[in-house]
Chain A
């Protein structure tokens, strides 16, 4: 799902890194957001609605709507659309509201 060639922009990406999503190892690039890296790997479902467990993805992608929250490295309610991907990150679909330690 990545754009290889673009008439206006140059997507030169260095530094491939790996992370896990619900236990599965995926790859992304340093400097991109978790949500973008997931989307590039075809992962569109980022969470579940609280009561009816409906599939949810992101909506605004700039940190306003909170639709993209996931548990990252054990920390709940991380806005994945504005959080940078780091090597070895453990990203999981959050069950319920999550617990703030």
Chain B
């Protein structure tokens, strides 16, 4: 199915997330790389040795949840834009989600934007907490949004109204 639609199943998605306990401890990366392709810059990007691809660059990246600090540098380096960061440590009700966003207009801190799921369907209105766009990210800004915890496995993208 995934090869037909480009949409991973719920089981596949959940398989890429760490435990809720880890998510509640602080920000952590979720690498949605499901198929083997020759690619390993995520491994090189991580300063905390949290991502491992290994000798064969076709291997699917493996995450070390303890080493990962959720710094989001890998988000800007992944050529497939397949990585996001989630953070459940802020409150009981909310989670923070960081996604790479290479479009204009770029949202600003405080903006209300539409959160979308993996099929581009509207999930909820969410607030933008932060937009990181340093030169080192080479034009792949990282947007942090705050959403209701129940959308942890759903939200994957945003839509910014001009």
Could you list which residues of chain A lie within 8 angstroms of chain B, going by C-beta atoms? Answer: 5-8
Contact = CB atoms under 8 A, between A and B. Distances in A.
Helix, strand, loop or mixed for chain A's interface?
A: loop
B34 interface: no
A-B residue pairs, 7 tightest by C-beta: A7-B104, A8-B139, A7-B102, A5-B104, A7-B103, A7-B139, A8-B102
Interface of B: 102-104, 106, 139
A5 B102 CA distance: 13
- Point out which of A5, A6, A7, A8 has the most chain B C-beta atoms below 10 A from its C-beta: A7
A16 to B, nearest CB: 24
9 contacts: A5-B104, A6-B104, A7-B102, A7-B103, A7-B104, A7-B106, A7-B139, A8-B102, A8-B139
Contacts of A8: 102, 139
Nearest to A8: B139
B39 to A, nearest CB: 20
A65 B104 CA distance: 34
Contacts of A7: 102-104, 106, 139
B107 to A, nearest CB: 12
B139 to A, nearest CB: 5
B77 to A, nearest CB: 15
Nearest to A9: B139
Nearest to B141: A7
Contacts of B139: 7-8
Contacts of B104: 5-7
B105 to A, nearest CB: 8
